[in-house]
Amino acid sequence: MTPMEKRQVNVPLMADLAARGEAPEVLFWVGCAGAFDDRYKRVTRAFVRILEHVGVKYAVLGMEESCTGDPAKRAGNEFLFQMQAATNIATLDGYNIKKIVTACPHCFNTIKNEYPALGGNYEVIHHSTFLQQLINEGRVKVQGGESYKGRRITFHDSCYLGRANDIYEAPREVLAALDADLVEMKRSKANGLCCGAGGAQMWKEPERGKKDINVERTEEALATLEGDAAALDALYGVESGNAGATPAPKKSDNGIIAVGCPFCMTMMSDGVKNKEREGSVQVFDLAELVASAEGINA
Amino acid sequence: MLQQILFLLVAALGIGLFVWQVRKIRANIMQGKDRRMGGSVSERINKTLLVAFGQQKMFKRITPALLHMVVYVGFLVINIEVIEIMIDGLAGSHRILQVLGPGYDVLMATNEVLGALVIVAVAAFWWRRNRQQPVRRLTGVELRAWPKLDANIILYIEVALMLALFTMNAADLKLHQLEGREMPGTFPVSALLVGLMSDNVTALHVLERVGWWIHIVGILAFLNYLPSSKHFHIIMAFPNVYYSRLVPQGQFSNVDSITHEVKSMMDPSYQVPAPPVDAEGNPVIERFGAKDVEDLAWTNLLNAYSCTECGRCTSVCPANITGKLLSPRKIIMDTRDRMEEKFNSPLIFAPNNYQGEERMQVSEEGTLVHGRVTPEELWACTTCNACVEACPVNINPLDSIIEMRRYLVLEETAAPQSLNVMFSNIENNGAPWAFSPSDRFNWADDLYVAEKGS
């Protein structure tokens, strides 16, 4: 194998493409978390590396992007939401955008489902579906980099990808391509448990209760990775009987919780820290896993 | 003849009273706001067949689904015998459906087996509710007093109806035996009970009639009990599923009046349609969101009458699981109680009362928000749609929660302080956090990709 060479990426701005009279194949909607949150910026950069690697003609809005209005809408501030939607639709339509990919399920859901009624009609796909397509087409081989063979991975469904939009298989197919040991939490897919951040909870303290939701979910993820049936029984309560087909207990020292959402990323990472397990269990986004398996990080 | 007249009177009274109650409830539901429906009729019928008739979503939990299936099928099939009872009662005939021949044997035998299974299922249901540690979702602040009693009354009535049916059949069998006649139909369960019957022909005649009357009067009484009970779901589940949302669960409703406002701000030439007017021709100023039941859509109100209080929504709610006050089931039950308090109430009306409930800080005002549902409950929701997914009859508690949040934010400006900060960040920075918009593209600095040798 020839030694790797690294190349600096100049992320193409939509304004520049438009000035040259060019149109992108797909617009990458970065989202606020992807642009500002230190942890999720790494996901944005991983996803851009993949876009560069496969040679898709893409562009980003850069400073012209603004919050989709999702947190405002879920919190009940419909006026602010519609103002944001109108602004963004004006920007997107100004560039005649047809197709949008985003790594944030909240942006995905809002642009895909709620912008049409306000006049914004685009083909919107989440990056899990986009990555699945690249893998299926053979454009990404998930080889040549870090090997995940045999590592235990559990996927945490985000509500706005799963129940909200019925996307359950795409992220799992991406993970399956890593040849890892994929284990499912009992509360998965349509029965998935929220990380606790949706509905604008990300920006406020939780109400009075016994436990934080992200801790509950992280406990489930950790117990599933480790096949700890007793811990799972304690979590699921009396009615569930037993935890079902869990693998034999195996203390995980390199388990991975995979996510596909910036808020889930924050909540699950905080949960792992809360359980003091950040030394042995990592939280990664799908794009990070693919970029690292493909060996394109530099 | 006297019995026929008496039966006609009883039946007319029972059905008439039921229609009167249903009309009151229909009027309550119609207090709700209009809702754009969308979706084709065939799509809605398919959904109704699958989710309501087919009980598709019940089978997410196998034990209660099977128990419920027994009672549901029992109800449907035994009702064929009720038709017979009605015809017999009016025509003065006896077991008129025996004209079905061998079909009657099958029908009666099926009824009897189902009847016995219903008793077993009901016993299991009772145990799940009333044992030392009941199934968790069958407890909760909203399941005290009337709702708790109601759940057990339904079970007792169901057993009583089944016992009346068996009494009637067993007495009839014994009579036929004593009189040396052939009894039409096959009765595997009642055949076992014949031995318990007296040899006195008069007593048997009386017993058979008593069983018959208890069964039919019981059914009519039960019918009139339904509107006061969670058991109303046996009727309301069907329209509720038919009118449920067909769009992706993540798609929240729009507020049209705000759309007009925003459009006219963006484009001064935009023509805002005239607001609706009331009977006197004055424009109707609609409240943003929902403070009280009439601010909700009629489908939200229909939801409230379809709820069986099974608590599947609450048992999967991440907020409830972690000990927060929010229980989606309570939101739905509060909506129903408030409607009946404010508008029409059915025969038995005993709304939940949270006054004095330590954690539930309700106001005297009585309105849905504050009087029954507290802001603390509303703000605990993560909008994760687990409750919507879990409901076997497609009730959407999230829709109502969002409407009430809209009221709190847009009418009362009463969002939690940290959310107000988030709002002003979006307004000023175009992001929910306090970052400068000019830093939005900084993530792309010093970004490298490895070129793979190929």
**Does the model's ipTM exceed the 0.90 cut?**
yes
Q: What would the two tokens of residue A86 be? A: 């109108």
Question: Cβ contacts of residue A191 below 8 Å, gap of 6+?
Answer: B60, B316, B386, B389
**DSSP structure class, residue B57:** G
Task: Say how far apart CA A56 and CA A51 lie, in whole Å.
Answer: 6
What is the share, in percent, of chain B residues with pLDDT greater than 90? 67
Write down the pLDDT at residue B210.
86
Kindly tell me the burial class for residue B350, based on how many C-beta atoms sit within 10 Å of its own C-beta (0-12, 13-18, 19 or more).
middle
What is the share, in percent, of chain A residues with pLDDT greater than 70? 93
User: Is B13 at the interface with chain A, CB within 8 A?
Assistant: no
Among A69-83, B37-51, B276-290, the range scoring the smallest mean pLDDT is B276-290
Interface contact B418-A199, CB threshold 8 A: no
**DSSP structure class, residue B140:** S
Interface contact A74-B433, CB threshold 8 A: no
Among A104-113, B7-16, B408-417, the range scoring the smallest mean pLDDT is B7-16
Element (H, E) at A281: strand A281-285
Taking CB atoms and an 8 Å cutoff, what residues of chain B touch A82?
254-255, 258-259, 262
Taking CB atoms within 8 Å and a gap of at least 24, the contacts of B241-245 are B241/B47, B241/B48, B241/B51, B241/B52, B241/B393, B241/B394, B242/B44, B242/B45, B242/B47, B242/B48, B242/B52, B243/B37, B243/B44, B243/B299, B243/B302, B244/B47, B244/B51, B244/B299, B244/B394, B244/B396, B245/B299, B245/B394, B245/B396, B245/B399
pLDDT in tens, B330-382: 999 999 999 999 999 999 888 888 888 888 889 888 999 999 999 999 999 99
Residue B454 has pLDDT above 70, yes or no: no
Interface contact A44-B410, CB threshold 8 A: no
* Closest CA of chain B from A41, distance in Å: 6
Interface contact A6-B389, CB threshold 8 A: no
Write down the pLDDT at residue A238.
46
Interface contact A3-B453, CB threshold 8 A: yes
Q: Which carries the bigger pLDDT value, residue B423 or residue B93?
A: B423
The closest CB to that of A62, out of B316, B440, B450, belongs to B440
pLDDT in tens, A186-222: 999 999 999 999 999 999 999 999 999 999 999 999 9
Could you tell me if A103 and A288 are in contact, meaning their C-beta atoms sit under 8 angstroms apart? no
Taking CB atoms and an 8 Å cutoff, what residues of chain B touch A206?
322, 324, 380
Average the pLDDT over B175-182 and give the result.
88
Average the pLDDT over A111-126 and give the result.
97
Write down the pLDDT at residue B385.
98
Cα distance between the two ends of chain A: 17
Task: Say how far apart CA A246 and CA B309 lie, in whole Å.
Answer: 32
Task: Say how far apart CA A275 and CA A3 lie, in whole Å.
Answer: 40
Task: Say how far apart CA A287 and CA A28 lie, in whole Å.
Answer: 13
Please state the φ and ψ torsions of residue A154, each to the nearest 5 degrees. -120, 135
Residue B213 has pLDDT above 90, yes or no: no
| Integer angstrom CA distances of residue B134 from A129, A237, B137, B142, B195 | 43, 12, 8, 15, 38
Write down the pLDDT at residue B90.
83
Average the pLDDT over A63-90 and give the result.
97
Residue A242 has pLDDT above 60, yes or no: no
Write down the pLDDT at residue B181.
86
pLDDT in tens, B59-106: 999 999 999 999 999 988 888 888 888 888 888 888 888 888 899 999
Residue A243 has pLDDT above 50, yes or no: no
Write down the pLDDT at residue B94.
85
C-alpha closest to that of B312 among B53, B56, B57:
B57
Interface contact A198-B288, CB threshold 8 A: no
Write down the pLDDT at residue A3.
56
Interface contact B450-A295, CB threshold 8 A: yes
- Model confidence at A2, pLDDT cuts 50, 70, 90, reads low
pLDDT in tens, A259-279: 999 999 999 999 999 999 989
Q: What would the two tokens of residue A200 be? A: 């604008």
Q: Which residue from A minimizes the CA distance to B62?
A: A240
The residue type of B369 is V
Handedness of CA B44, B46, B52, B57 (dihedral sign): negative
Write down the pLDDT at residue B418.
97
Write down the pLDDT at residue B453.
56
Write down the pLDDT at residue A249.
53
Single pTM value for the model: 0.94
User: With left for phi above 0 and alpha for psi between -120 and 50, is residue A227 left, alpha or beta?
Assistant: left
Could you tell me if A152 and A181 are in contact, meaning their C-beta atoms sit under 8 angstroms apart? yes
User: Is A201 at the interface with chain B, CB within 8 A?
Assistant: yes
Average the pLDDT over A51-56 and give the result.
96
Strands of the A281-285 sheet, one edge to the other? A181-182, A152-155, A255-259, A281-285
Among A174-178, B21-25, B26-30, B349-353, the range scoring the smallest mean pLDDT is B349-353
Interface contact A208-B443, CB threshold 8 A: no
Taking CB atoms and an 8 Å cutoff, what residues of chain A touch B408?
76
Taking CB atoms and an 8 Å cutoff, what residues of chain A touch B443?
30, 34-35, 41, 44-45
Could you tell me if A157 and A168 are in contact, meaning their C-beta atoms sit under 8 angstroms apart? yes
* Closest CA of chain B from A35, distance in Å: 6
Residue A241 has pLDDT above 80, yes or no: no
Taking CB atoms and an 8 Å cutoff, what residues of chain A touch B325?
207-208
Interface contact A166-B248, CB threshold 8 A: yes
| Other beta carbons within 10 Å of B320 | 26
Residue-range domains of chain A with CATH:
14-132 (3.40.50.1860), 142-294 (no CATH)
The residue type of B14 is G
Write down the pLDDT at residue A248.
53
Taking CB atoms and an 8 Å cutoff, what residues of chain B touch A34?
443
Taking CB atoms and an 8 Å cutoff, what residues of chain B touch A107?
none
Among A148-162, A229-243, B251-265, B328-342, the range scoring the smallest mean pLDDT is A229-243
Task: Say how far apart CA B433 and CA A35 lie, in whole Å.
Answer: 11
Q: What is the mean pLDDT of chain B?
A: 92
Task: Say how far apart CA B420 and CA B362 lie, in whole Å.
Answer: 23
Write down the pLDDT at residue A250.
57
| Integer angstrom CA distances of residue A112 from A56, A61, A86, B398 | 21, 17, 14, 20
Task: Say how far apart CA A101 and CA A11 lie, in whole Å.
Answer: 15
Write down the pLDDT at residue B4.
85
Interface contact A75-B409, CB threshold 8 A: yes
Could you tell me if B404 and A1 are in contact, meaning their C-beta atoms sit under 8 angstroms apart? no
Taking CB atoms and an 8 Å cutoff, what residues of chain B touch A1?
453
Average the pLDDT over B201-222 and give the result.
87
